Structure 1
Amino acid sequence: MQCKEAKRLISSYIDGEISPDKRREVEAHLLTCPDCRRELEMMEKIVKLIHELPEIEPYEELSDKIWVKYTLEKDEFLKNPFRKFLLILGFIAFFGAIIFLAQNYFKSQSFDKDIYSYYNFHGKMSTSINENTLIDLVLYQYSGK
């Protein structure tokens, strides 16, 4: 196992989230690699310190205050006519851009007055050109389609 893969798996190794085969590979690598062992020790210390942090209980009214603030701000946002106008204008611009890009994409996919493309598209391209094919080519070229 390479150091890059071992370092990527260290967090999962600590949490016990890797398969037994991968676990053995990581352990074998850790026996031979001092850099990865230091990385593992550092990660274990970080995890230990995080688990030692006290849990903070939010006070009871916190969720009520958050909900009230959210609903008031939402109502204020929609009551402001300028913000409504900007919101509608943003939607129009977004969908206008999508329509514009779609039109340009489909225009670029259409066949121009390129005779080869026309005949290739219509399945009329062949190795031998007879008189009717030549007439079709000329008529198509000058028809303006």
Structure 2
Amino acid sequence: MNCKDIQRKLSQYIDNRISAKERSIIETHIKKCVFCAAEKEKLDKVTTVFRSIPEFIPIQDSEEVFWKKVRQARKHRFIEKIRSLITQWDFIPVYYPATALFLIGLVLGICLGPVYNGTFYKNRFSSSNITYLALDRMDTIPYRSFTGVYLSGKATPHKFSKEEP
């Protein structure tokens, strides 16, 4: 075995969880190798420190006590959130007029929207007006362009510019 394998098994060696054959191999290697002996000393010190710590044995009702405290903390946190919201609501009467105007506008928009939509947009954005609206915004249409080819099939009062070959 090399040092890497020995150092990997040192913890098992200290805890007596290896076979007698491996134990003898590790002991002979530790006598020859200074690095593995130093590693064993470090692990021995850590093991003695951990073994000197007394074992913690919880009381029988510790789980119930823990969950009871958690529930109380959550309840108090909820109550504190409600209190903070109530204290913040002292300034809310300032926003009542704005909220009332918003709601009135919303109701009027829902009630009068179809009436307004039917009369205003129907006349203004009919298909013929949209075509002329688009053409009014454009300069002269190049001959044989996509728009020119599309509009050449329709009778329109607009003139197309012709390119000379």
TM superposition score normalised by structure 1 = 0.43
Q: Which has the higher contact order (CA 8 A, sep 6+)?
A: 1
TM superposition score normalised by structure 2 = 0.39
